[in-house]
Amino acid sequence: MTTEKNNKIVKPFLRWAGGKTWFTKHIENYIPKDFNDYYEPFVGGGSVFFYLKSKGFIKNKAYLSDSNSDLINTYKILKNYSNDLFEILKTHIDSEDEYYRMRSTGFTDKIEKAAKFIYLNKTSFNGIYRVNRNGEYNVPYGRRNLNILYDFEHLKDISIALKNTYLSTLDLIL
């Protein structure tokens, strides 16, 4: 299955430090025409994965991992529970009060956690993922004046792109 819709390239949906979008236009020179499963540790915002998936290079299973468990949870929820997630995202408001209320709320439910992660990534100062010693996200509010908070069509494309993936939290010690 390919996520290619009228040649549309699915772009990453997260703001993520060190993203490799700039590299995707070169990558086709280095990718074999045919390969079996695809493995990407350090998947981060997934620009390389979503590009290769959109272009139909990844035909079989993709094994994606990252040491950031909040990130991997978010991908898993988008893959498996996108409708439930979207219902929560539809209730979000971009305001400073709401940002700090959300930032300080500890959710136990994994869908709520994913919704919080996406919300903070979208509305924080620069989208970087930074936590303090207690593991608490401590990036300030972004004042981005967003007209539209979420592009649900895009999120749906992301969910489809993730369908044949195996997602895991892996801390690779190099």
Spatial neighbors of 64 by CB under 8 A, at least 6 apart, are 40, 43, 46, 49, 75, 165, 166, 167, 168
Options 53-61, 132-140, 150-158, 164-172: segment touching ligand SAM (CB under 6 A): 164-172
Among 8, 36, 38, CA closest to 160: 8
Among 11, 13, 46, 103, which residue sits at the site for ligand SAM (rule: CB under 6 A)?
46
67 CB neighbour count, 10 Å cutoff: 13
If one counts every other C-beta atom within 10 angstroms of the C-beta of residue 161, the result is 25
Task: Decide: is 32 part of the binding site for ligand SAM (CB under 6 A).
Answer: no
For strand 38-40 and strand 165-169, is the pairing parallel, antiparallel, or unpaired? Answer: unpaired
- Residue 66 in the binding site for ligand SAM (CB under 6 A): yes
Nearer to ligand SAM, 164 or 168 (CB): 168
Per CB under 6 A, 116 contacts ligand SAM: no
Residue in this structure with the two tokens 């699915």, named with its chain if needed? 10
Q: How far is CA 164 from CA 34, 37, 59, in A?
A: 17, 10, 9
Which one among 11, 20, 53, 92 touches ligand SAM, defined by CB under 6 A? 20
127 binds ligand SAM (CB under 6 A): no
With respect to ligand SAM, which residue has the nearer C-beta, 29 or 83? 29
Pick one of 18, 32, 106, 135: the residue that binds ligand SAM (CB under 6 A). Answer: 18
Q: Is 141 in the site for ligand SAM (CB under 6 A)?
A: no
Of 68 and 165, the one with the shorter C-beta distance to ligand SAM is 68
Q: What's at 62, amino acid-wise?
A: A
The residues that touch ligand SAM, with contacts defined as CB under 6 A, are 18-20, 41-48, 66-68, 170-172
